Structure 1
């Protein structure tokens, strides 16, 4: 059994809107785990429970706990994993978001081995390259046999760039495939009969580059790997999310013929792999295998033990988020953030600009034009129709700010040329489907591209033409011969000069190449601040001199394209359709999963 990307969703709670949510949370998944384990024991089967990382970050609960440091003990996630008797866990890239000392303090509380083959650090002495679990299995005649199972784990090698402010000089991150080859040899040398890999990576058939971010399929193809638990992308496997990829059977749940699962996000699913073994001389081999996902049902019961272990931190987080931050004269929302840049994007830009301009004042970079890149993750997607944010008119609670900036990103800045800015925008425009005339029900947004990958760059004026094919692939590599989607790109009323220098205010994650963007190295970094995006927003809103600047959208879709496309948004968006009046919005019947489709004319 396997979980992945729990992202500190313990009790099934939406902290931004302060309400319970269904089909989310380890507390709801726990009864399914215990039932599946009991059924396996009743059959006489050996049963393991594994987790594939990204457990400690992702909700305001995780951020609040990190702020308290070691003052809250035991950590509710550690206590919950111990309660459920996990056999081994791996690391994900977001597990380092609050720094290595904090990670070490939590891992010290785990009662099971924590493994990662491609990250090492003296700060994490408890971290193992691999774990060999000695267990006993019974054959069909009831005879007991010893079985040695190696559990290996890798995270995306890009973590070294995404989290360089935490890892630089403190940890080493190597390529996933090379690290696994070494760990596989070590596991077999230790007498492992089976090898399960926790690959905190997605499943893709279009990844480019020497060590791609979604390499679960290549990992499964390695000689000696018997089963794979994938993760990172928040998608589901087996299932239609990965149809049509070579080497992938999305119905049977195999990658290159090996059993595999990718169990969603936040406890949405339990991944189950069954392996039937046969003794082949002195070794065991997998004779048959099945893989499946067991999705959380609606109104699933919650494990009272996990609720009890989480209660103190859960209630403290809710109280912390209820505090008033500021007052707004008008509401701001993210309902149409993927159709045009609204006031929320301008608010983010003002907050980042404030941090960077103050830090660069009096430096040689002060006179360079300052651009600001903003992304709003709360735009629906895999997290569903509740994943939008609306700052109300009047008093604004802190939970609303947490919804705008759910990741622990720091405000950084990088020196770029006009040519790099254009490529930045082209990578951002990858989020849109390639639209064609005559299809009124085509989707505007490519559902394979998460909303946090879409940047609006303030300080420019430009158009996006989604009738043209994207110029970059999902990994951020150029598509040979592809046209450009960015049109009429200007700076201060004149065409953008490819050679002109700018400073771009953004986040450490984006500068590290996060989201398929260009990796900027230290010589290009103009500012490495310790100010988080959330802190920048709070400081901006609380300042005496703050006022929302001109909210004219920096970009629009190219006028007169003659195409229609459907945007999925929250049901409440129907009250704000006038914001998109120039696209003649037509609300359609709600989807079965609760989204409001709105047809737009471009």
Structure 2
């Protein structure tokens, strides 16, 4: 059995909107785990439980615990210990709060913590692999010992994404050779069966040299009998990976290796059944058959009372913390149409970033550079469904609203970038949009395979996007020859931007490190680090916001009079705000099976 990307979702609760949900949680997952264990006991099967990382970050509870560390055991660790996990792997987001904090969490685990490619003396409890011995009954009734090996790895790009936490203290080596060594070591130590915990997904595009989703290659490593994936928040087996070469989305096989990816935030329990046979005179058994399945939670799945109780103290303290007011908003803001026209939400975040950087560079030579801000709009539906939108009310703004805007523990940094680089940056962002064709009224505006958080707008510039033109880059960020691109008329203060002109751009540390399939900046280009935590920068800005600047900030627009229409998926609540986008002539066009409202827009 396997979980992955739990992201601190201990109970089914939406802390941003302060309400219970019908979604997933570890407490619900516990009910499925107990049921699966009972089934295994009835058949005499050996049963192990593994987690694949991104465990300690994700909900406002995780942020609260990181900001208010105490002597109490961490509730997520308590919960995993209570459920008797056999081994735990690490994901990239487990490093978001720093090595010291992570070390305090990991020291409380009863299960071994694994990662073969994270190298650091700061976390001595981490092992590249583990072997545990279990008794199992054969079909003939004989009881034998079985040695189970588990290995684990995370994307090497973690070293770039989390460089501010790891620099000088840890390194992340390439995953493939690290796993090959770990598998060889556990096999040499007598492992009969080897399971790989790979905090990576199945690549749906050619990710190039810096691939972060290498599950297909990992499944091909000799000596691995089963793989648990994650990281992308997609599910496998199932339709999320239909058509991907080398994988069987119905059976859950990659080649002959059973593989499972159990969603995120407690949505699914991954279950792999292996039937083994030891040939006569053979040293180790062989897998002769297997099945792979996802067991999904729903609104009817009960939450395990023991796990819910473990989270109660942190839950109550987090709710009280999030209820604190931080500012007043004169007008409501939302992200319902943010992928079809500039929204006030990213404009607010851009203003907060620029303020933090302008204060950090005061009195330095960097003040001479034009200051811009790159912002990806948070919460625009996508894989997380029609509830994944931001809606900020006019009046009192509370910490829970800030938590909804900023779900990750990012820092405000600044990078130097030329006009040429900014042009490429915007072109890669514009991959979000499908190539629209005149006369096709049912084409999607946004490519559903491109998450909204990969769409950066650069505030301080103005520019046009023509989605009827072919993109200049492919999905992996490689330039396409002979394509001129979709972004044009890039201007700063009304003047066309020169390719050699130099700018200072406020960004998050994640984007500076190349997060979101962007080209990472090198150390010489990152000129301001840790100007402020992004959530604090926003709260500081809201003490005296420039409301006019936020309302009028509109860096991009679609090229006028394209003569095409396209469908946007948004929240049902967006239908009450169609007056916000009169120039797009929105027409309600039904509802998707997932619950999104469909709007036909005219460009």
Same fold (TM over 0.5): yes
Secondary structure of the 2:88 match is: strand
Check conservation: 2:459, 2:553, Cα contact below 8 A: no
2:537 corresponds in structure 1 to 536
Residues 334, 378 of structure 1: 8 Å contact kept = yes
Structure 2 CA distance, aligned partners of 1:426 and 1:72?
48
Greater Cα shift, 205-214 or 233-242: 205-214
1:310-350 Cα distance to aligned partner (Å, 9 max, x none): 01110111111111111111101111111111111111111
Partner of 1:453: 454
Corresponding residue for 1:48? Answer: 48
Q: Which is worse superposed, 155-164 or 393-402?
A: 393-402
| Contact 1:323/1:397, CA 8 A, preserved across alignment | yes
Q: Map 1:321-470 onto structure 2 (within 5 A).
A: 321-470=322-471
Q: What is aligned with 1:522?
A: 523
Counterpart contact for 1:175–1:211, Cα < 8 Å: no
Asked whether the 8 Å contact 1:247–1:257 carries over to 2, the reply is no
Residue aligning to 1:275: 274
Deviations 1:179-227 (A, max 9, x none): 1111111111111111111111110152333341111111111111111
Say yes or no: does 1:3 pair with 2:3: yes
Instruction: Name the stretch that deviates more: 196-205 or 587-596.
Output: 587-596
- Take 1:556 and 1:53, find their aligned partners in 2: how far apart are those partners? 39
Residues 199-278 of structure 1 correspond to what in structure 2 (within 5 A)?
Answer: 199-278=198-277
Q: CA shift at 1:508, angstroms? A: 0.5
Map of 1:105 onto structure 2: 104
Tell me which residue corresponds to 1:177: 176
Shift of 1:362: 1.4
Query: Which string of whole-angstrom CA distances, capped at 9 and with x for unpartnered residues, describes residues 503-549 of structure 1?
Result: 11111000000001111111111100251111110000023877644
Partner of 1:292: 293
In structure 1, what is the equivalent of residue 25 of structure 2?
25
CA distance in structure 1 between the partners assigned to 2:562 and 2:24 by the alignment: 40
Residues of 1 paired with 2:474 and 2:222: CA distance? 29
Query: What is the deviation of 1:473?
Result: 3.2
CA drift of 1:471 comes to 2.6
Query: For residue 567 of structure 1, what is the aligned residue in structure 2?
Result: 568
8 A contact 1:176–1:211 mirrored in 2 = no
1:530 to 1:194, Cα distance in 2 relative to 1, 3 A: farther
How far the C-alpha of 1:74 sits from its partner, in A, is: 1.3
Structure 2: gaps of 5 or more residues = none
Partner of 2:556: 555
Aligned to 2:79: 80
Equivalent pair of 1:374/1:506 in contact (CA under 8 Å): yes
Could you give the per-residue CA deviations for residues 79-136 of structure 1, whole angstroms, max 9, x where no partner exists? 0101111111100000000000000101111110110011021111110010112112
1:295 deviates by 1.1
Within 5 Å, which residues of 2 pair with 1:161-176? 161-176=160-175
Measured after TM superposition, the shift of residue 242 of structure 1 is: 0.6
Q: CA deviation at 1:480?
A: 3.8
Counterpart-to-counterpart distance in 1, 2:353 and 2:575: 30
Larger mean CA deviation between 142-151 and 472-481 belongs to 472-481
* Aligned 8 A contact 2:360 2:531 in 1: no
Describe the shift of the 1:481–1:222 C-alpha distance in structure 2 as closer, same or farther (beyond 3 A).
Answer: farther
CA distance in 2, matches of 1:479, 1:75: 48
Hey, what's the Cα distance between the residues in 1 that align with 2:196 and 2:310?
29
When residues 483 and 148 of structure 1 are mapped into structure 2, their CA distance, relative to the original with a 3 A threshold, is: farther
Give unpaired runs (5+ residues) of structure 1: none
Alignment partners' CA distance in 2, 1:421 and 1:496: 9
1:229 and 1:89 map into 2 onto residues whose CA distance is 11
Give the Å deviation of 1:590: 2.3
Q: C-alpha distance in 2, partners of 1:369/1:552? A: 16
1:591 to partner: Cα distance: 2.3
TM-score w.r.t. the length of structure 1 is 0.97
Q: Contact 1:23–1:300 (CA<8 Å) still a contact in 2? A: no
- 2:495 matched residue in structure 1: 494
Deviations 1:400-432 (A, max 9, x none): 111111111100000011111011111111122
Q: Is the 8 A contact 1:207 1:214 kept in 2?
A: no
- For the residues of structure 2 that align with 1:432 and 1:284, how far apart are their CA atoms? 50
Say if 2:572 and 2:596, in contact at 8 Å, map to a contact too: yes
CA contact (8 A) 2:268 2:297 kept: yes
Contact 2:344 2:551 in 1 (8 A): no
How many pairs were matched up? 601
Q: 1:285, 1:148 → 2: CA distance?
A: 13
SS in 1 for 2:535: helix
Deviations 1:156-180 (A, max 9, x none): 1001010101000111110000111
In structure 2, how many angstroms separate the alpha carbons of the residues matched to 1:289 and 1:32? 20
Distance 1:478 1:368 in 2: 28
Q: CA separation in 2, counterparts of 1:2 and 1:480?
A: 43
Asked if the contact 2:4–2:264 (Cα under 8 Å) also holds between the matched residues in 1, the reply is: yes
Aligned partner of residue 178 in structure 1, secondary structure: helix
Query: Shift of residue 469 of structure 1?
Result: 3.0
- Name the TM-score, length of structure 2 as normaliser: 0.97
Say which is worse superposed, 345-354 or 563-572, in terms of deviation: 563-572
Change (3 A) 1:545 1:82: same
Alpha-carbon distance in structure 1 between the residues aligned to 2:478 and 2:81: 42
1:488 Cα offset (Å): 2.0
Q: State the shift of 1:296 in Å.
A: 0.9
* Counterpart Cα distance in 2 of 1:426 and 1:127: 41
Deviations 1:139-165 (A, max 9, x none): 211112211111111111001010101
Cα drift, residue 569 of structure 1? 1.1
Task: Determine helix, strand or coil for the equivalent of 2:31.
Answer: helix
Does the CA contact (< 8 Å) of 1:261 and 1:271 recur in 2?
Answer: yes
Task: Name 2:156's counterpart in structure 1.
Answer: 157
